[in-house]
């Protein structure tokens, strides 16, 4: 992998990640852009104890442009985009309309391929490995920013999810706090460790799932399963078998095997609802240990956390979506229409031939 860092016309950082070491990236962004001004602010809820971001400048962000005006495609001739070069393998840049900025963190866009009509599932194993390496490098780089406590790499796919740009891409949020969902995991880790005299909750969950009926696919280094208490109709958790706190902790064997496992998982998601159905909308979310202090989670260290990816779709059956209504949105109590055991069975049924 070759990494080349440059700057866009308004001062934002852009990084190329290339498969070939001899690739030269010297294209200049010639757009007449003014320096980006953001209004991101983090506010803490005194009752719930969690934080939200206020980012009013995002109202003006690009919204469903036609394909020939996609800002994530390479620049061609007089059509200038966010990527100055005429081609790329993987590219990462600071979001022009970030939810978090400055002392409130940072947001980046990750373009998986220059092919506008592709999806992550269409990538080759070599390309998917390059994305993994880019995620890992960005996690390392962002963790060193003074305002960052947690790095979150994720992909939103599909208009049903709320995606406003059709080009295959993901995002990275670098939060100035430990996210509420991660805090819940850390509290459960601490309680289990205290109750059992030191046992790790992630290890216990993984061992139970490996011995059960909800495993979707398994390899030497990875296992994917539908969790016992899945929130979403089709939800899969992907874990490396050797517990590590973040992407930086993966060894070469896990990195080498990841592309084939993850690509197979995504392709099965596209086959869940049968032939002729539109691509399955999904969210793919990497959960990594915070880089900040963990004193409030007594007895827990970063090494107790288990890196894992959660992949889920909001489609519950053909032509029908799972909406978060009163119980889910109002009280955070999910009601799942698909038994996790049946979801796992279905995802095994649609394995590649």
Q: Which residues are catalytic?
A: 169
Separation between Cα atoms, residue 274 and residue 318, nearest integer Å: 8
Alpha-carbon distance 348 to 252, whole Å?
Answer: 27
Helix (H, G, I), strand (E, B) or coil at 10: coil
**Residue 261 vs residues 105, 133, 216: alpha-carbon distances, Å:** 32, 16, 11
Q: Position of tokens 């600071």? A: 94
Beta carbons of 4 and 91 less than 8 angstroms apart: no
- Give percent helix, percent strand, percent coil of the chain, each to the nearest 5: 30, 25, 50
Residue of 145, 158, 12, 167 lying closest to 90 (CA atoms): 167
The tokens describing 336, both together, are 């799942």
């Amino acid at each position: 992998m070759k990494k080349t860092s440059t700057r866009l016309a308004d001062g934002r950082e852009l990084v190329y990640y290339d498969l070939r070491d001899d690739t030269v990236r010297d294209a200049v962004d010639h757009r007449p852009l003014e320096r980006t001004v953001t209004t991101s602010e983090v506010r803490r809820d005194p009752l719930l104890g969690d934080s939200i971001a206020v980012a009013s400048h995002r109202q003006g962000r690009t919204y469903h442009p036609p394909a020939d005006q996609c800002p994530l495609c390479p620049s061609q001739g007089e059509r200038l985009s966010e990527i100055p070069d005429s081609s790329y393998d993987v590219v990462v840049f600071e979001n022009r309309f970030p939810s978090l900025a400055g002392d409130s963190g940072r947001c980046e866009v990750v373009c998986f391929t220059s092919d506008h009509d592709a999806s992550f599932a269409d990538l080759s194993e070599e390309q998917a490995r390059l994305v993994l390496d880019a995620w890992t490098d960005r996690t390392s780089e962002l963790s060193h920013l003074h305002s960052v406590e947690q790095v979150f790499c994720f992909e939103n796919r599909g208009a049903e999810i709320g995606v406003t740009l059709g080009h295959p891409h993901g995002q990275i949020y670098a939060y100035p706090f430990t996210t509420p969902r991660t805090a819940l995991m850390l509290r459960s880790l601490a309680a289990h460790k205290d109750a059992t005299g030191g046992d790790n909750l992630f290890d216990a969950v993984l061992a139970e799932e490996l011995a059960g009926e909800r495993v979707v696919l398994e390899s030497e280094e990875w296992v994917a399963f539908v969790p016992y208490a899945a929130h979403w109709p089709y939800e899969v958790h992907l874990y490396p078998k050797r517990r590590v706190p973040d992407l930086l902790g993966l060894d070469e064997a896990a990195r080498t095997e990841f592309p084939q496992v993850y690509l197979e998982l995504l392709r099965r998601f596209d086959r869940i609802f049968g032939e002729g159905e539109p691509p399955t909308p999904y969210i793919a979310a990497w959960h990594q240990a915070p880089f900040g202090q963990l004193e409030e989670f007594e007895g827990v260290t970063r090494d107790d956390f288990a890196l894992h990816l959660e992949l889920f779709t909001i489609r519950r059956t053909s032509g029908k979506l799972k909406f978060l209504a009163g119980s889910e949105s109002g009280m955070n109590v999910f009601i799942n229409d698909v038994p996790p055991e049946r979801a796992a069975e279905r995802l095994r049924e649609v394995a590649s031939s």
